[in-house]
Each structure stands twice: as C-alpha cells, then as structure tokens.
Chain A
Amino acid sequence: MAAMEVSDPLGHLNYSTKNEENFHFINAKLESFKETSACEWIQ
C-alpha cells in the first residue's frame, strides 16, 4: 500500500534540540512549567 499524499497538519511544528534560535524561548517555557510539570529532568 502506498501512502497517499495529503496535506500535513503537523507541517508548522519545529522539532529540534536547543539552538541559538530557540534557546531563550525553550528556557522560558521550561521555567514556566517548572511548578506544574515533572520536567526537572530537562534542567
């Protein structure tokens, strides 16, 4: 079965490690989740 081409609803999402472009955004987001989510393992 060949996958049919369809518009990708996930095409706008970024998936990457921290880099110069996203560094401050991701750090700020992680800080905001500190008290509500179990994400200490990322720090």
Chain B
Amino acid sequence: MADLPDASISYELLARMALIRRFEEEAGRQYQRAKAGGFLHLAIGEEATIVGTTSVMREEDYLIGTYRTHGHAIARGTDPKRVMAELFGRVDGTSGGRGGSMHMFDAERRFMGGYGIVGGNLPIAAGLALSSDFKGEDAVTVCMFGDGASNAGNFGETMNLAALWSLPILFLVENNLYGMGTSVERHSAQTDLSKKAEGYGIPGHRIDGMDVMAVRESVAEGIRLARDERRPTLIEAFTYRYRGHSAADPEVYREREEVEEWREKDPIESFARRCIEAGVLGEREVQAVRDKAEQTVLAAVEFAEASEEPPLDTLYENLYVLDSDAWYAVDERSPEPHRGERESTMPDAARELAEAGAAYAAHDDGPRPNPATHGDAQEGIEPEVAEEIEEAAD
C-alpha cells in the first residue's frame, strides 16, 4: 500500500473527493426537481479513480473523458458553480448551456471534454497526443473511458494508432462493472480489460480504483512512461457507481447487496479513516472537508439558479468560427437575413400559418408529457409542479 502523502496533499485529495460526492448528490436532487434536464450520469463511488488521476497530472496535460464527467471537470479545477450552471442549462455553464451533463468542457484547464458517444473520445485523445508530440511539447493526454467503450471499434483502432505512432498518452478504463445495465461478463469476451490492448503492444494492469493512493501511484507511472518514453499504457481501475447508469435506471441488473458491499469500500470513507489512523489528518479536519463541500455545493446551486437562461438570439452562436474572413454566409436558416432572403415574403406567410396551427393545437386538452420524466418539457415548468415533483421524489 502506497504511503500517504503529506497533510496538505491528503487534505486536498479528501476535499476533492468529498466535493465531487456532495456535488453529484446535489445534482441528482436538482434533477429530481427538474432543474437539470436530459440524462444525468452520476459518478458517486468513482471519486478515487477521478481524483487519483487528476492529482498527478500537470496543468499542461490534457484530460478527456466520457458522459460521466461532472467530477472530472471539478477535479481538474473547474468551478463547481459553472458545472452546476451547465446542468441547469444556463449561460454561465461550462459550455454556456449548449452541452449539458454529458458535454462538460474547460479549455483553460485542459479538460477537453465529456462526450456523449461511447468510445468517441478515444480517437480525439490520440489526436490531442499527436498535437503535443508534433509540437515537441511535454504534455501527456490522459484518456478515460468506461468498460463498455472497450468493445467499441474505436478502442482497437485508437490503441493501434497510439502504439504505432508512439503517442504520449495514457488510457484509463473506469471499470464500474456495467456498460449501462450489462455486466462485463455479459459484454466482453475478455473480462480482464487490462489485457485488451496487449495485442496492439500496449501493456495494461489492474488497480483498485476505490483507493485514491493506488490510483495516484499507477497513473503517475503511466504518465511518466507516456511523457518520457512515449509508451502508452492501459490502466484498468475497478470502481463502482452507487447510483444507476443514469437517473432513469431502475437497476434491475444488480442486487442491492452488491451495492452495499461496494459501499463498504467507499473511497472517501476509507481514505478519511486511513488519514485519521495515520495521524495525517484529524477528525476536525475531516469534518471541515465535509462542511466546506456542503457550502460550495449549495453556493453552486444558488449560482446556477441565478444564472440567466441563454438568450434566444445566441442560438446560432459558435456554430462556426466567423473571424477567418474566408466566407460570408453561414446558414440560410439563421436569424439574420442573408443575401437572397430579403425580398422573400413566402417564408413569413408559412410561419404565420404554422403559428396559427400551433395556437389551434394548444387548445387541445390531450394528455401532456409528465415533466418529471420528459426532458423536453422541463423548461418553463410551473413552480408548484416542481414542488410536487420534489415531494414525490423525497
């Protein structure tokens, strides 16, 4: 077992993990209040894998992840306020409300994104590593993905390319035992995922992803190999999400006892206990960590609530980079009139007809979507309805 680092690092590791835990709990609560829409994938239980990894990365290193990356952004230093605002779909969100839960991003901290397509981030990671290598920079790319992604075609393709081109990259499988609701045994012929890149010349090993110190030690070595020797590695970290795949997961595929068993190995509790037993941190400091996380997360919710909805006239912003002067028109459907559209009256007539039709349809008293389960309907939800949903959820 790796030795504990000094008090300040131990405190920081514990604080980050506790903050992510508390953030995710609150994100789940806000989702039930219909403040956050779409899908919500929580990383509760996976904090040690996340924080252990980012704690040994340099500022210039790239991190790229999956659709479960609220915690990765926070671990990389993104303000939880901005992560929460993104969940709320507000202008101050990490992606200005364009991305949502699955698409966090923070260029400044080289957190190169959460991605909604399983395995979609793997080739991009190789490209980021290529850019560093090409420019003669020292930066390493850490690419994290789930056990399910190890079955995607991109996995094999990217492993091959990374090894072939000797890219400065570290692959880390966050093996939480299930690709959505399908267990590893049922989705992968090779259940030792650390072996899945061996054929491409990328060695792998398995670690306890619930032990932040084990993750740190292993990832630090993987990063060193990538940085100094241009040798990619594949680390398989065993971890576990206590919550369902997403908030809409009935969890029919696993037993309650299994969840309880993993909770015994809780990464935050066990690390806190170890720090106290070793005398590195005191009970009071551990409590302070919890209190601080609570305050930070409540402040994040307050911030997200206060943040504005994106103005409608920003709908087309950032679809294209427009400062390169190479061309003039974006899309004939954008709100601004384009050459050739000004004289037209037909679209106006069509729009009026459509609006009239919509107004007529609104008189229909047919069944309306349940805002608690229907993501699209959450916007503009009446306050009393939100309260009802919250009561039902509590």
Are A and B interaction partners? no
Binding site for A on B (CB under 8 A): none
Binding site for B on A (CB under 8 A): none
